[in-house]
Amino acid sequence: MPPIKDNACSVRWQSRLADLIIAIALFTVIMPVYLTHPSPQSVDSMWTLHVAMSIVREGNTNLDEYQDVIQARNGYAVETIQQHLYNYFPIGTPLLSVPLVFVADQVTQRSWAVPLSEQLHAVTPTGGVLGLELLIASLIVALTSTVMYAIARLFLSRWRAIGLVLIFAFCTSA
């Protein structure tokens, strides 16, 4: 009997290893596809990096420090609450972006002529800002896809879980 128990444990471990390899493969396919083939830019994410930078630099989620940029963009997607300016859209994406914005801010302060914090004050987004926004969005979708695969594997076969993830990544507005 003991060899059967060891064999069952070995099979379970091999299955988990296979799922880990598939999750990594999904990440490595989805990430570059999003990076190299972006869909048309949505202006809904216009303030994501600004909110994240506000959290990094000021410890708050308001956009008061970007009043000039907000006015130049006609106040799109910004609302005033108790005399402070806030992004109209949910805070989730900016919160997920904070670690990457922090790293980008540190790197650009040390090595670029114009740090990220200053680039965000430009009325027209620079290539660095748009590139960072695309990188963060791609990373979030790729990571979400791997988490979705892990959850789907609790209920679905391997192929169905892969199919679900591919539908999520390439057939929705993710």
Same domain, 147 and 117: no
Same domain, 67 and 101: yes
Neighbouring residues of 88: CB distance < 8 A, sequence distance ≥ 6: 77, 78, 79
Beta pairing partners, 80: 85
Same domain, 89 and 133: no
Scored b (16 or more CB within 10 A) or e, 103-128 reads: ebbeebeeeeeebbbebbeeeebeeb
Tens digits of residue pLDDT in 85-101: 999 999 999 999 999 99
Place 145 in a pLDDT band, splitting at 50, 70 and 90.
very high
Residue 83 near residue 91, CB atoms below 8 Å: no
What is the CB-side half-sphere exposure of residue 102 using CA atoms within 13 A?
11
Query: Last residue of some domain: 124, 140, 158?
Result: 124
d(CA 111, CA 101) in angstroms, rounded, equals 15
Same domain, 150 and 109: no
Q: Which of 3-12, 45-54, 57-66, 136-145 has the lowest mean pLDDT?
A: 3-12
How many CB atoms are closer than 10 A to CB 13?
Answer: 10
d(CA 38, CA 103) in angstroms, rounded, equals 23
Same domain, 120 and 130: no
Same domain, 106 and 64: yes
Total residues belonging to the chain: 174
Once rounded to an integer, what is the mean pLDDT over residues 45-53? 92
In the DSSP assignment, the letter for residue 122 is -
Same domain, 113 and 173: no
Same domain, 51 and 99: yes
Would you say residue 159 has pLDDT above 80? Answer: yes
Tens digits of residue pLDDT in 122-140: 888 777 888 888 899 899 9
Same domain, 96 and 168: no
Same domain, 92 and 156: no
User: What is the tally of structural domains in the chain?
Assistant: 2
d(CA 16, CA 34) in angstroms, rounded, equals 27
**Tokens linked to 156:** 């679905």
Same domain, 120 and 50: yes
CA gyration radius for the chain?
21
Could you list the residue range(s) of the whole structural domain that residue 140 is in? Answer: 1-37+126-174
d(CA 152, CA 172) in angstroms, rounded, equals 17
Same domain, 168 and 95: no
